[in-house]
Amino acid sequence: MLCQWLLDEDRRHRLWIKNVPDSKLTSDCNKGYVKVKQIGTNPTSIDNVDIAKDQGVKLKPGHILYMVNKLYPYTIEFVRGSGQSDSRDQQKKGASKRPHENSQNKSIETKCSKMQSNDVLDVNKSADDTSSEQQQHSSQSAVGHWSQGLKVSMQDPKMQVFKNDKVVVIKDKYPKARYHWLVLPWQSISSLKALRSEHLDLLEHMYEVGENIIQEHSTLSKAKFRLGYHAIPSMSHIHLHVISQDFDSPCLKNKKHWNSFTTEYFLDSKDVIDMIKIKGSVEVKDGTSELLKSPLQCNVCKVQQTTIPQLKEHLKKHWT
């Protein structure tokens, strides 16, 4: 069953599902999520995680909302209603172009200068502060909210560098290092929270594919590579980052970009696999989002730097 809220950039909408008076749903289309509040006795859950009474949880595209002991599964999808945002689009058209409208011949510096500043979702902030990696929304070719952008990119032959019957590897649209790819399964898995023991073979295959990609490019980079997942990603559909540790990219622009890949916010692929083997699921520690505010620290020598430009200048000593 699909509950669908039409995109309205000026208003918030509230929905009480008929005959299910135990939950209240408030959708904020401008920020791209639905706030679910448990108000009755019948249990409600998101991706098999129960919501406590009077607790409010954000439901994002790709997640599944279960009502009344999982009898009623719902998903959400943000779509543009006909005529609702045409005038606004016309106003924006002359003012500035979105990243996807840039010419393919323009440099990566030009692309990155027009994207948003954050790379991951900080649970203490709104979805407006989302990733540059996540600015993969396209008004013509993409369908739905920007958080579904990976599902569009993984189908794009121009983005693909490898694929088989289980996974596809694409170039990160806004790389945070000289070499940055994403390994995505064809199987629909919304996030780390949805992983279970039956996904072990797939996770190990994703790791092997990532290792093969590294082997193909290891002779071109002095820096090491890492394979891992963001603990709290903002893009729906699970994806494994394969990234060189030089972090030499104009798309790496702020502290959150840096800390999302150099602190425990970035979970090593092997650690995720081991966690599934032992516990049957992935647990994210409380306070993980606070890691994004950590001081800027060199990932090689651990010397702290004050600003991103200073950090980048410092990194040159290690990789040039």
> Which residues are identified as catalytic?
239
Dist. CA 214–CA 209, nearest whole Å: 9
Report the alpha-carbon distance of residue 125 to residue 281 in Å, rounded.
26
Q: How many residues does the chain have?
A: 320
From 239, 299, 229, select the one nearest 266 (Cα to Cα). Answer: 229
Compute the distance between CA of residue 315 and CA of residue 320 in angstroms, rounded to an integer.
9
Q: By C-alpha distance, which of 213, 228, 244 is closest to 319?
A: 244
Integer-rounded Cα Rg, in Å, for the chain is: 20
Structure tokens at 127: 């979805």
